[in-house]
Amino acid sequence: MNDRAPLVRAEAMIVRLPLLQPFVTGFGVTDSRHTVVVHLVDESGNEGWGEGPALDHPFYLPETTATTYAVVTEYALPLALRSGSLEPREIATVLSRIRGNGFARAGVEAAYWSLEAARSGRSLRDLVGGTRPAVPVGESISITETVEQTVEVARERVAAGYRRIKLKIQPGWDVEVVRAVRDALGGDVMLQTDANAAYTLADADTLAALDEFDLACIEQPLGWDALPEHAVLQRRIRTPICLDESLRSPADVHRALDLDACRNVNCKPARVGGITATLQIAALCEQRGVPLWCGGIMESGIGRAGNLALASLPAFNHPADMSPAAELFAWDLVDPTYELDPDGTIRVPTDPGLGFPVREDRIAEQLVRRDVLLGDGPQPSP
Ligand code: OSB
Ligand code: MG
């Protein structure tokens, strides 16, 4: 029943997503969050939704909300529309002409994936080849004022069911806090750290001191683009290095594995350029037997829908970063949104299309800017 109806509307928006608490990491404090939303509608009324969830600032990666929006509205969405294709993998190929700017490409491509799911009456999970009914998840814990506060949060999270705890670390906030949390939680809880590029090779001894805590991995200890340096560090520590910031395409993952710069992969679908790129990374990690998991970047439910579908693939064999929307934001852009079940999993929607009802009224209330590239409707804001 594949519907052949053409597109009648295509628009991009910047939407405010108020955080309940600042997120504190090795790259600094994130206390303001906007996100880029892409919306497609075809003549039969099928809808596609995608998100390009760069952060507002350039302290995690070079892209920001503003640069992502510019690339979406000036290049990615126009290129996709001009191609005339509605096939998501063809759209990924069209967008591959754009260098970098993974968040912008991912946002546009995701809208075509969820549109295709709606048009074919399938769930996003089935469309991407996901199999699990539910995805095990862990929690990413901000840097806090005191070690006791982090221990308290980690205890609460384990009691809530989370399958894995990830502690944000930075120089001066590492061995002591990891020891305290390991002592409090015991040896059975899966524990890992994320430095968000806050260390250099001069800190190798400190990072090696984390070996005694049986961590599942140390995420991005060194510079955001420091692949060879991570290979040097991996030779000096036993704990597997996981890369996040340094992996921005399937080619980056290839290079990192060939260099032995990491032995564990955090794949954030938006960071690597989208769903098609993620499927390539999943195939590569599966072939090489490398632990793979789905990272998050505090997306709204629109972005999380794609993450959930992908994290349900068998290649994703380590718990995902997917703090529930209710813990991150005053509200989500989808309602009902996803929730943590007491067994530490999040159910993967099986409804056709995106799988979550989008709250267009909330998007309208929180709208900062909108550009309509195809169809009638509100004029682009000044
Ligand atoms: O480094 O994984 C990271 C959030 C924003 C920016 C960077 C990171 C994160 C997280 C994920 O840790 C939290 C989540 O989305 O649930
Ligand atoms: Mg990270």
Least distant ligand from the CA of 63: 1
Going by C-alpha positions, the residue among 272, 247, 254 that lies closest to residue 104 is: 272
Q: With cut-offs at 50, 70 and 90, classify the pLDDT of residue 277.
A: very high
Catalytic residue among 39, 168, 182, 362: 168
The span from the CA of 86 to the CA of 100, in Å, is: 22
How many whole angstroms from 293 Cα to the centroid of ligand 2? 11
Per DSSP, the three-state class of 358 is strand
Domains of the chain listed by start with CATH number: 7-121+359-374 (3.30.390.10), 126-347 (3.20.20.120)
Question: Does the pLDDT of residue 3 top 90, yes or no?
Answer: no
Closest atom, ligand 1, to C-alpha of 328:
16
Closest atom, ligand 1, to C-alpha of 168:
12
How many whole angstroms from 323 Cα to the centroid of ligand 1? 9
The span from the CA of 240 to the CA of 244, in Å, is: 13
Identify which of 21, 24, 25, 242 to mutate to test ligand 1's pocket (most ligand atoms within 8 A of the CB): 25
Catalytic residue among 34, 268, 271, 362: 268
Query: At residue 60, what are phi and psi to the nearest 5 degrees?
Result: -90, -55
pLDDT one-digit tens code per residue, 185-220? 999 999 999 999 999 999 999 999 999 999 999 999
Going by C-alpha positions, the residue among 155, 72, 142 that lies closest to residue 108 is: 72
Q: With cut-offs at 50, 70 and 90, classify the pLDDT of residue 2.
A: very low
Identify which of 103, 139, 140 to mutate to test ligand 1's pocket (most ligand atoms within 8 A of the CB): 140
Which amino acid is it at 121? G
Question: Does the pLDDT of residue 378 top 80, yes or no?
Answer: no
Considering only CA atoms, which residue is closest to atom 3 of ligand 1?
Answer: 297
How many whole angstroms from 223 Cα to the centroid of ligand 2? 12
Asked if 268 is an active-site residue, the reply is yes
How many whole angstroms from 214 Cα to the centroid of ligand 2? 19
| Exposure on the CB side of residue 206, measured as CA atoms within 13 A | 19
Considering only CA atoms, which residue is closest to atom 9 of ligand 1?
Answer: 297
**pTM beyond 0.75:** yes
Residue 382 has a pLDDT of 43
Considering only CA atoms, which residue is closest to atom 8 of ligand 1?
Answer: 297
Strands 164-168 and 190-194: parallel
How many residues in total does the chain contain? 382
Closest atom, ligand 1, to C-alpha of 321:
16
pLDDT one-digit tens code per residue, 123-167? 999 999 999 999 999 999 999 999 999 999 999 999 999 999 999
Residue 377 has a pLDDT of 61
Closest atom, ligand 1, to C-alpha of 296:
15
Which residues are near ligand 2, the ion (C-beta closer than 5 Å)? 194, 219, 244
